[in-house]
Amino acid sequence: MKTALTFTAIFLAVISFFSQSVNAQVSESWVKQYNGTADGYDYAESIVTDDAGNSYVIGSSDSTGLGDIVTIKYSPSGTMLWVKKYDGTAHGDDRGIAITMDDSSNVYVTGYSEGIGTAIDIVTIKYSSSGETKWVSRFDGAMHMTESPYCITLDGAGNVYVGGSGPSMPGESFDFLTLKYTPSGGFGWVRYFDRPIPGGAEHPTAITAHGSAIYITGISVAPGFMDLVYTVGYSASGDTLFETPYSGTGLGGRKASSIAVSPITGAIYVCGHEYSGSPVEGINYLTIKYSPSGMVTWAKHYNGTDSDVDEATKIAVDATESIYVTGFSSGISSAYDYVTIKYSAMGDTIWTARYNNSEDGDDRAEDIKVDASGNVYVTGWSRDFGSRYDYLTVKYSPTGSLLWDIRHDATSATIDSKAFALGLDAMGNVYVTGVSNGPTGNEDITTIKYVEVMTGVTGNTNSTPEGFELKQNYPNPFNPSTKISFSLPNAGMTTLKIYDMAGKEVAQLVNGNMNAGTHEFNFDATGLSSGVYFYTLQSGEFMETKKMNLIK
């Protein structure tokens, strides 16, 4: 009997210990708002992150009633390191649209800018990681009419490509427009795509590169003709590789919204939506796979539970060539829901996840990212309590299970909070940006860093440690990951940060309130070089630092 009781006690203790190890919790590490000099309408369009955990935001900021292109860099701890504004030659309305980054953490931004006698031009800027302006290039087409950018990417050689629209000749409205710049900002070439029908207009939405090939996708519309999704490929020298239309099975109403390329095979994936032609099915998600030569391999549709409006907004492809699509879908009694789908490279549906908030309000997904472990992150905006929208970010496991969801409510009765873009750093932290009400009541660029404050193993807090303790990491030396554990005798605000030999913070594993107990965290140094690193635990007035060695 005593043996049985002892076994039961041990079993319950083990269950108690591990029951706390699977409950990852997410919290806001910091929230930063940017309000321009005019205290007007400031909003973000996109975000990128570097390996050190710095984040870079592109958007627009009102200045004396007109807009400037604004680029902001934040440190891992949320300090604004620099902000750069671009006011065009006409000092008119200039708006930031898209951003990308190279391996040296130089950032490239594009937007539109009023010119003097040139209507609207495309402007592209390169900034160094320290905020130095390396070059600025403006593009005014031969017609001196409006040219608008939508997207930007880099190829493997560091050349810059901008996708946009503009007229290629008199009488044209809008054609696909692709610009190439050299790494030093020299003009490479411009190419137009015009569907050969009268009165047509082409609107690109997304661009990407694989090796030396560039792919741009969008929609072609014309009175009396079906709307077609077009995907166009170019070589680095500007030769047309293919111009592939997708007419689908429906009656029109198609749109391409995002593009991605497999790092394994070079296959091209595009998502968007297509009207089915049937009022019973309505508008459906559309996901298309192309071969590297531009042939349509397959097309998949998703018709939601309400068979009404289902629109895919973003696509991502991971290192195993699984495809992830997100967007919004009409629910039976829940307005729009987030719907995220994982496909195999063969087009098989692996899982589908719907997210409906507790109030059955509107949920619209805008961006998606996948980490190296196959976890999926989606952000967008959601109407929950009240009549305004909040930021909503969710995380799914590789099998499609919801791991966490978190909202940011700016508590405004008149201004929506909408997240438009999401980024991940090498440590698994999540960054979202968009627009929300600021302290003066107007719209501000609002950027948030989320951290998982309880990952890995958390000890049984029923047995409170007698004192603070920071343990030596294990293994040590390590490559590329190691575990760091510590004990807290009482709950409180706690940080666990990693520094290099120069004292520069390279990672932040913990930044939030922690319960008393023993905690263990995994540090992944995949993006860091070999060398000596230091990790520092601070909780209340306790602080301790230990050394570890990364050997690759």
Tens of pLDDT, residue by residue over 88-125, are: 989 999 999 999 999 999 999 999 999 988 889 999 99
**How confident is residue 502, by pLDDT bands cut at 50, 70 and 90?**
confident
**How confident is residue 173, by pLDDT bands cut at 50, 70 and 90?**
confident
Spatial distance between the Cα atoms of 328 and 336, rounded to a whole number of angstroms: 6
Task: Please tell me the predicted confidence (pLDDT) of residue 457.
Answer: 46
Task: Please tell me the predicted confidence (pLDDT) of residue 289.
Answer: 98
**How confident is residue 503, by pLDDT bands cut at 50, 70 and 90?**
confident
Sheet holding 389-396, edge to edge: 363-370, 376-383, 389-396, 402-408
Residue with more model confidence, 313 or 503: 313
Instruction: Look at residue 8 and tell me whether its pLDDT is greater than 50.
Output: no
Task: Please tell me the predicted confidence (pLDDT) of residue 205.
Answer: 93
* C-alpha dist (Å) from residue 380 to 129, 130, 176, 449, 451: 28, 30, 28, 15, 18
CATH class for the domain made up of 455-550: mainly beta
Please give the distance of CA 92 from its chain centroid, rounded to a whole number: 29
Mean pLDDT for 152-173 is 90
Nearby residues of 295 by Cβ (< 8 Å), 6 or more positions away = 244
- 9: phi then psi, degrees, rounded to nearest 5: -65, -45
Question: How many Cα atoms are found within 13 Å in the side-chain-facing hemisphere of 185?
Answer: 18
The DSSP bridge partners found for residue 489 are none
The closest of 308, 309, 311, 335 to 325, measured between CA atoms, is: 311
Instruction: Look at residue 45 and tell me whether its pLDDT is greater than 60.
Output: yes
Task: Please tell me the predicted confidence (pLDDT) of residue 9.
Answer: 36
Mean pLDDT for 161-185 is 90
Q: Which token pair is 491?
A: 């709950």
Task: Please tell me the predicted confidence (pLDDT) of residue 250.
Answer: 65
**How confident is residue 274, by pLDDT bands cut at 50, 70 and 90?**
very high
The closest of 27, 24, 28, 26 to 457, measured between CA atoms, is: 24
Give the single-character DSSP code of 305.
T
Mean pLDDT over the full length of the chain: 88
DSSP string, 339-376: EEEEE-TTS-EEEEEEE--TT---EEEEEEEE-TT--E
**How confident is residue 215, by pLDDT bands cut at 50, 70 and 90?**
very high
Task: Please tell me the predicted confidence (pLDDT) of residue 411.
Answer: 65
Residue with more model confidence, 280 or 546: 546
Tens of pLDDT, residue by residue over 388-399, are: 889 999 999 999
Helices (H), 70-212: none
The DSSP bridge partners found for residue 492 are 514
Q: Is the dihedral of CA 294, 298, 299, 305 positive or negative?
A: negative
What percentage of the chain reaches a pLDDT higher than 70? 89
Q: Which token pair is 86?
A: 């671009």
Task: Please tell me the predicted confidence (pLDDT) of residue 308.
Answer: 85
Mean pLDDT for 146-162 is 96
Mean pLDDT for 245-272 is 91
Spatial distance between the Cα atoms of 415 and 398, rounded to a whole number of angstroms: 35
Residue with more model confidence, 218 or 331: 218
DSSP string, 234-297: E-TTS-EEEEEEE--SSSEEEEEEEEEE-TTT--EEEEEEEE-S-TTT-EEEEEEEE-TTS-EE
Spatial distance between the Cα atoms of 162 and 216, rounded to a whole number of angstroms: 9
Spatial distance between the Cα atoms of 493 and 512, rounded to a whole number of angstroms: 5
Helix (H) / strand (E) element for 314: namely: strand 310-317
4-18, 214-228, 515-529: segment of lowest average pLDDT:
4-18
Tens of pLDDT, residue by residue over 406-464, are: 998 866 667 789 999 999 998 889 999 999 987 777 899 999 999 886 444 444 445 67
- 3-class SS at 168? coil
- Evaluate whether 176 touches 214 at the Cβ level (below 8 Å): no
Instruction: Look at residue 369 and tell me whether its pLDDT is greater than 50.
Output: yes
- 108: phi then psi, degrees, rounded to nearest 5: -125, 125
